[in-house]
Amino acid sequence: MPESQPAIERGDSVAHLGHTGVGRGRGRKHCDLSATSSLKKLWHDPVGSKVIAGIILVILAASWAAIHFDWWSVVLNATLSATRWVHAFLIATSPIPHWLIGLAGLIVIFAITILGAVAVASLTAAQTAPEQTFAKIERPAWQSYLTDTFFDIRWRWTYGPSATPENLVCYCPHCDCQLIVHDLTSIPGMDVIAFHCVRCARHIKKIDKPLAYVKHSVALLIQQNIRSKLL
């Protein structure tokens, strides 16, 4: 019985190798079939077939021209001549070794390339830097404060050079229609103004002060809100 176990193990090993070989063969066959099917699809594709045909024509034309005009010998002779000239230049005798001159030339070319790249990068950065700088600057919150309600009236305004509210315009708080200001009295020192809405067809607010005084009061309230809430 002990002698039969190695035989069984050898049989299993042979069987395992057989399966492995079959698997590898199937894998290679599958790869070949995949490559063949891919080529067939590419050949039947309208664009792919034209590309393949163009490549074949270029190869055939280049081969015919190389044989007919003897281009291979021309290219070979030019390559050999350039190689001989470089070799002769490097080994030639002079007060300064030519190989050192060649090395210096390569260093100069490399330096010029680096300087050109740095110059291009600097110009690109100079063109994009202002936009990026302004993009990073956040607008102060008070500059977005352009409307509010005072004296039961909606007001809108802009800011002047000294950051003071200007161009105050009044609107209806209900329909947002611009209001018309009427002076209801002609008695000096007894100013009564009415803010009238055309759409609502009524007076929105009556104030017993001149319009200039009301606008100045609104500007002061705006500045007070900016100091207390937005700064």
What pLDDT does residue 169 have? 96
Lateral strand order in the sheet of 193-197? 180-183, 193-197, 202-207
Which pair of structure tokens corresponds to residue 63?
């081969």
Output 40 or 56, whichever has higher pLDDT: 56
Per-residue pLDDT at 181 exceeds 90: yes
Give pLDDT tens digits for 204-215: 999 999 999 999
For residue 99, pLDDT over 80 is answered with no
Task: Give pLDDT, residue 124.
Answer: 76
Task: Kindly state the tokens that stand for 152.
Answer: 């039961």
Count of CB atoms within 10 A of residue 208's CB?
A: 10
d(CA 224, CA 144): 15
Q: For residue 62, what pLDDT is reported? A: 74
Structure tokens, 118: 């740095």
70: left (phi over 0), alpha (psi -120 to 50) or beta: left
In this prediction, residue 128 carries a pLDDT of: 59
- How far is Cα 179 from Cα 194, in angstroms, rounded to an integer? 9
Query: What average pLDDT score do residues 66-81 get?
Result: 74
Going by pLDDT thresholds of 50, 70 and 90, the confidence category of residue 217 is very high
- C-alpha 97/C-alpha 177 separation (Å) is 90
pLDDT higher than threshold 50 for residue 15:
no
Average pLDDT over residues 100-119: 86
Q: Average pLDDT of the chain?
A: 77
- CB neighbours of 92 closer than 8 A, spacing ≥ 6? 98
Q: Decide: 145 and 164 in contact? Cβ < 8 Å.
A: no
pLDDT band at 42 (very low <50, low <70, confident <90, very high): low
Q: Which DSSP string corresponds to 9-46?
A: HHHHHHHHHHHHHHHHHHHHHHHHHHHHHHHHHHHHSH
- Is pTM beyond 0.75? Reply is no
Considering only CA atoms, which of 167, 148, 149, 147 is closest in space to residue 204?
Answer: 149
pLDDT-based confidence at residue 2 (cuts at 50, 70, 90): very low
